[in-house]
Amino acid sequence: MTIRYDGQVAIVTGAGNGLGRSHALALAERGAKVVVNDLGGAVDGSGSSSDAALETVRLIEQAGGEAISNGANVADLSQVESMVAQAIEKWGRVDILVNNAGILRDKSFVKMTMADFQLVVDVHLMGSANCTKAVWELMRGQGYGRVVMTTSSSGMYGNFGQANYGAAKMAVVGLMNTLVMEGDKYDIKVNCLSPTAGTRMLDGLLTDETSALMTVEAVTAGLLTLCDKDAPNRTILCAGAGGYARTHIYETDGIFLAPGDQTPENVRANMDAIESTDNQQMLIGGFQQTDKFVSKASAYLKNN
| Residues taking part in catalysis | 165
Residue 22: CA count within 13 A, CB half-sphere: 18
Dist CA 158 CA 75 (whole Å): 24
